[in-house]
Amino acid sequence: MSLPAYFLADLPPDAPLTPRLIEEACLTLQRNRELYLVPRSCAQIIALLEELGRNWRRPDDPFRQLAVSEGPQQTGFSRATLEQGLDNFFSQLTETNMRRLLRQDLGEETALDDYHPAVDPRRCCRARGPRLLVHFSPGNLPDPTFHAIVLGLLVKSAQFVKCSSQAGFLPRLLAHSLRALDPKLAACLELATWPGGRTDLEDILLQKADCVTVAGADDTIQTLRQRVPVTTRLLAYGHRVSFGYIAYATSNETSLESLAEQAAADVAAWDQAGCLSPHLFYVQTGPDQHFPLRFAEALAMALDRLEHVQPRGTLPTGKAAQIAARRELYAIRAACSGTTRLWCSPNSTAWTVVYEEEPDFQLSCLDRFVYVKPVIDLARALRAAESIRAHVSTVALAAPAALRKTLANQLADWGVPRICPLGRMQQPPLTWHHDGRPALGDLITWTDWEMEPPSSPPAS
């Protein structure tokens, strides 16, 4: 890839990174923020980000072209999966959405620019983003890193993104595309990548940051949490698990094939790598006791069709072995027990559907490996999913309009932070509450200005 060496992540892999280098980078970022970012209004930043999003959706954009041509080798996702994932993300990056996000999380679109009267008439408030925002980015897919960078720019923070050593490619392209558009803004952004265990480098970041976001494995977060200074805010996004629920009555409104295609799209998006991807689909049995089984079969056919237009990425042998080993077990169960069925891609591990009557939640090994389980109703599904209740992220809901609100309330009461239509699991809106929290609002610190009471007229 022929990108100029501008960010630390552009250096050759063997270039030595030292704590001093990281410290100097942090100081430079903070200085550049004062010069280039703080003076700008949110409206100016929004206009720039919208242009960035527009560029990334153009087929001739050089950064997009690099992403989709070299991405398969660099990221393990196929070209079609990359194109779809990038389109989904950047189509959200509109002025309307960003203004909505500011209003939603801060109350005012210009809350970061100036004071605004609070509800209490004796007070004005102004929002401030962190001076230095540090992101420890996940290694599975680019969306969370893209989202984090966008939020950081909106709150006018200098940002240091420590990318996973395997997943720096797309964030680098985003950073370079920003630099091509506005070098001064890009001077407020740094990206670096290093293998795990460099606590000497990480500790500098933790000391210099006002706020740290981390997305990754729970044990990574646990380790980091213990090292973050008490004055630094830590926003941790641990691993989450998602699933789908398909109410029987929805089959009266939507064909089985459409339902299966929507579910297949959810399984195929980012090759099921993200926390928002479904591990399984609970399907309600109804008068047609075989509806869940028929759905599983239709899902298998849909995944097979999808494989021709949006193939799964090439897997390392270890991951393929996980799929192969699980398939073997389910194939034996299917042969010996009669309550299990298995459909899978021939001569490859590209996709797998396992139907099991036993309803307990089962984590998938991912990479387009999904379970279908029949349940009598949503309450039964939620009882069966109790083991992942504290980790649930998204539930895709397919139900007739008349039932949706009741089911959505049931899901909210159970603790589900996001409910979406089938087929949209990996497309959260820019304004979404990440793991149930205001992602932009959590970055903010407020300055409250309590006004002096109007002077009373002198007593006469």
Partner 1 sequence: MSATGVISALTRFAEHWLSIWDPMHRRADHWPPEAWHEDLFNELALELARLQYAHNPPYRRWCEARGIAPSRIDHWSRIPAVITSAFQEFEFSCLPPSHRSCVFYSSGTTRGKPSRHFHNSLTLRLYEASLWWAFQKALLPEILSGPHPQLVVLMPPPDQAPHSSLVYMADTIRRQLGYSMDTFLGTADGTGLWHLDASRAWTRLRTLAEQGRPVLVLATAYTLVQLLDTPGLTPHRIKLPPGSRVMETGGYKGRSRALTSDELYRWISERWGLPLTSIVSEYGMCELSSQAYDSRFSQGDTQAPKVESERTAQPRSATLRLRRKFRFPPWVRVQVIDPETGTEAPHGRPGLLRIFDLANVGSVLAIQTEDMAEALRDGFRLLGRATGTRPRGCSLLAANGAERADSTDSHL
Binding stretches for partner 1 (CB under 8 A): 139-141, 217-219, 238-239, 241, 272-275, 277, 279, 315, 317-326, 328-329, 331-336, 347-349, 362-367, 387-388, 391
Q: How far is the CB of 382 from partner 1 (least distance, A)?
A: 17
The position carrying tokens 């050759």 is 12
Closest CB to partner 1 among residues 24, 219: 219
Q: How far is the CB of 160 from partner 1 (least distance, A)?
A: 24
Ramachandran angles phi, psi of 421, nearest 5°: -70, 155
The β-bridge partners of 246 are 283, 398
For residues 226-244, b (16+ Cβ closer than 10 Å) or e, as one string?
eebeeebbbbbbbbbbbbb
Distance CA 298, CA 132 (A): 49
Report CA torsion sign: 420, 424, 430, 436.
positive
| Contact between residue 164 and residue 188 where contact means Cβ atoms under 8 Å apart | no
Q: Token pair for residue 57?
A: 């959706």
Q: How far is the CB of 97 from partner 1 (least distance, A)?
A: 26
Closest CB to partner 1 among residues 120, 219: 219
Closest CB to partner 1 among residues 326, 418: 326
Distance CA 315, CA 348 (A): 10
Ramachandran angles phi, psi of 91, nearest 5°: -70, -15
Closest CB to partner 1 among residues 105, 367: 367
Helix, strand or coil for residue 287? coil
Q: How far is the CB of 349 from partner 1 (least distance, A)?
A: 6
Q: Token pair for residue 247?
A: 């109410």
Q: Treating both helix axes as pointing N-terminal to C-terminal, what angle do 79-90 and 62-75 enclose, rounded to 10 degrees?
A: 130
Integer-rounded Cα Rg, in Å, for the chain is 24
Q: How far is the CB of 79 from partner 1 (least distance, A)?
A: 19
Distance CA 141, CA 425 (A): 14
Closest CB to partner 1 among residues 152, 274: 274
Residue 339, C-beta contacts closer than 8 angstroms, at least 6 positions apart = 333, 356, 357, 358
Q: Which of 425, 430, 426, 424 is nearest to 50 (CA)?
A: 430
Q: How far is the CB of 386 from partner 1 (least distance, A)?
A: 11
Distance CA 300, CA 306 (A): 10
Closest CB to partner 1 among residues 119, 336: 336
| Contact between residue 249 and residue 242 where contact means Cβ atoms under 8 Å apart | no
Q: How far is the CB of 260 from partner 1 (least distance, A)?
A: 23
Q: Token pair for residue 219?
A: 């044990």
Q: Which amino acid is at 224?
A: L
Q: How far is the CB of 129 from partner 1 (least distance, A)?
A: 29
End-to-end alpha-carbon separation of the chain, Å?
81
Closest CB to partner 1 among residues 238, 286: 238
Q: How far is the CB of 325 from partner 1 (least distance, A)?
A: 5
Q: Token pair for residue 74?
A: 């660099």
Closest CB to partner 1 among residues 208, 240: 240
**What counts of helices (H) and strands (E) characterise the chain?**
15, 17
Closest CB to partner 1 among residues 15, 329: 329
Q: How far is the CB of 384 from partner 1 (least distance, A)?
A: 13
